[in-house]
Structure 1
């Protein structure tokens, strides 16, 4: 490269447009908040990480936190139950798979960073729940359960906030207890042994499932 020629960062700035640029900025803000926290989040830092001009950010977002909420919304998965409501168990397992996949993303790391500072930024936490989680259907499995209730396959009175929290809570508990992300066997166990019975459906006899306890805790020795 000779004097006066644009460097790689400048080339990226001029070549990226539209959705490519937005995706780069979203990735930058999620990575940035994971490193510096909410309090350290600035437009300057995000722009530098995204290798773009700060003015590009201000054209779309009024503040780093608005940008962060937008990035979280775009990164958050949304359940798609079977249109015919003919596979409740499969749809519930798939919803929990979406949760497991999301846990591995920078968006999930960003959510943890926000929650660690929730006492300092309660308005950001409120925005995250209303404009990200609720806007995408609520807790994982909520959309599936409401869909089946609306189709007459479940009693709507059983689809309570406690029931819609079960899958998400048990996936996170398994991860906390074992230090591992649940596999499909554990997800099936959560559906068969917790969610389906909570809505009045007992799984078929003989269906093999494993609990997190059976996977993670050794047998006692004498």
Structure 2
């Protein structure tokens, strides 16, 4: 687990360096206007997609809405063509896209991605490590970067903490049991070593 750079494992080298800060001068549609037009808006966030400022928020029962922060125009959900464009925009290398699919249901969601990101586009590039980008269908944001080395690291991490479900519970009972048995074995070994070495030495001196 420590033989590879953790930044590479996180997929940071797969994507281009983080975009510049949002240019607030380009935000012509103010928060005040947004609140007037969408009185039920909550969890409002100013995000950026391919250099364009956007507002992302929950609009009551209508769910998540994304609007252009320059014009206030509601953005259409990301289709397949747009998802490819966004993936290629972020991808740091020049491999072609091998496969793209839309994931809407948690039943089809790979274990490597949290359900909170649904629905997402899964974009896979043609490369031996199978680099994969997950693009939000609603916001167009790059929500996760995965590759085969990340997947191998994930399995090794699960073995390490002995959580074979989702690899997130570092205080599970199985790990506690093994750690306790290991501690007991260590103490027992130290006691046996003392009696074996020091006690036998005293008898020989006598």
TM range (shorter): under 0.3
TM-score by length of 2: 0.27
Larger-Rg structure: 2
Structure with more of its chain in helix, by fraction: 1
TM-score, with structure 1 as normaliser:
0.26
More strand by share: 2
Select the structure with the greater relative contact order (CA < 8 A; seq sep ≥ 6). Answer: 1
